[in-house]
A = this chain, B = another copy of it.
């Protein structure tokens, strides 16, 4: 049934292509490829699904209609957390996602998304393109027979919504919260009662009192979810997600079979969409922040005692991942080397500049 559903979708896509794109004279109709890209989020999700669609449009435009990618949201062809399997098994040619969604296969994949107190959006891209990041990522994904491309970032996320102030470590103890990834692990080690519930259930779970706190993304997406209706205190920023990376990955056999120009078009369209995606989140988070506060939200930052304890727990969790095997150790060493150097640079350049600017403009 899924297969039939897919064929129907692909047929529809092909029709749209024929109607809207005049193929260059040099390419005959039968030479055009129709590919499918799955995603772990619904079609049209702001910043995520929308940029996957833009990527497909870029590829179509640059290839003069020779490579047409139809985009499918969560559950349309495969369930959200089976996108990697679908590409690995050749059910679809490619996917849009984020590496830590496949951490069940390999916890070191967290490094290619984000880790607590880790790289910012622009630093993650720096590590991938100019450090060893991309090489190590390709080595990791070779196990699944897929080729990864960095596809952008949601920027520094928010620390989440709390129904009481967090003034000390004691305030975290026993607190029921939805907290993702290694940040959730650090919260658990600090005594919180962490459960991972799907995004769509966060609001009702907060409303019913099933949880006391939850983190989602940042002002733009948090506003859309209406989380200000169920919690008064908004903690900024996310200690655990300073710059979560997105990805596009392609089945290796499918990629290798493409002509050199189409390979280049995929590679550089992914690079272009990575720029667009960070710009999208940056613009919309900035635009959403004051309107969100105007709904009566109280902005807070975690006190130093809480930050430093969460950092110790995070480092312990990261070190356990690094100790798993040789490749995980090499990934961690390369990433952490850059983070440690970036820590001073980021404080004395970007943080200082942003604080000066805030003062100059009245904050």
Within 8 A of B (CB), among A53-103: 58, 61-64
- Among B126, B264, B347, B351, the residue within 8 A (CB) of A282 is B126
Chain B residue at minimum C-beta to C-beta distance from A273: B271
- Among B264, B271, B285, the residue within 8 A (CB) of A276 is B271
Q: Is A352 an interface residue (CB 8 A)?
A: yes
Q: Which residues of B contact A58 (CB under 8 A)?
A: 264, 268
- Among B117, B284, B348, the residue within 8 A (CB) of A130 is B284
- Among B126, B272, B283, the residue within 8 A (CB) of A283 is B126
Asked whether A355 lies within 8 Å of B345 as measured between CB atoms, the reply is no
Asked whether B286 lies within 8 Å of A237 as measured between CB atoms, the reply is no
Q: Is A231 an interface residue (CB 8 A)?
A: no
Asked whether B272 lies within 8 Å of A62 as measured between CB atoms, the reply is no
Tell me the bound Cα distance from A75 to B363 in angstroms.
Answer: 45
Asked whether B156 lies within 8 Å of A283 as measured between CB atoms, the reply is no
Residues 248-289 of A, flagged 1 when their CB comes within 8 A of B and 0 if not, give 000000000001110011001101101110111011111101
The quantity of this chain's copies bound in the complex is 2
Asked whether A282 lies within 8 Å of B125 as measured between CB atoms, the reply is yes
Asked whether A123 lies within 8 Å of B237 as measured between CB atoms, the reply is no
Q: Which residues of B contact A340 (CB under 8 A)?
A: 361-362
Chain B residue at minimum C-beta to C-beta distance from A274: B275
Residues 216-244 of A, flagged 1 when their CB comes within 8 A of B and 0 if not, give 00110000000000000000111100100
Within 8 A of B (CB), among A312-363: 338-363
State whether A129 and B283 are in contact (beta carbons under 8 Å apart), knowing that A278-B122, A351-B355, A354-B351 are contacts in the complex: yes
Q: Is A311 an interface residue (CB 8 A)?
A: yes
Q: Is A307 an interface residue (CB 8 A)?
A: yes
Asked whether A122 lies within 8 Å of B122 as measured between CB atoms, the reply is yes
Asked whether B237 lies within 8 Å of A350 as measured between CB atoms, the reply is yes
Asked whether B218 lies within 8 Å of A156 as measured between CB atoms, the reply is no
Q: Which residues of B contact A287 (CB under 8 A)?
A: 341
Asked whether A357 lies within 8 Å of B129 as measured between CB atoms, the reply is no
* Shortest Cβ gap from A298 to chain B (Å): 12
* Shortest Cβ gap from A312 to chain B (Å): 9
Q: Which residues of B contact A174 (CB under 8 A)?
A: none
- Among B121, B268, B286, B360, the residue within 8 A (CB) of A338 is B286
Q: Which residues of B contact A125 (CB under 8 A)?
A: 275, 278-279, 282
- Among B117, B219, B283, B341, the residue within 8 A (CB) of A360 is B117
Chain B residue at minimum C-beta to C-beta distance from A351: B354
- Given contacts A61-B268, A122-B155, A289-B344, could you give 17 more A-B pairs where the C-beta distance is less than 8 Å? A63-B261, A121-B122, A123-B282, A125-B278, A158-B349, A237-B350, A239-B356, A242-B357, A265-B265, A269-B272, A286-B338, A286-B341, A308-B360, A343-B358, A343-B362, A346-B354, A346-B358
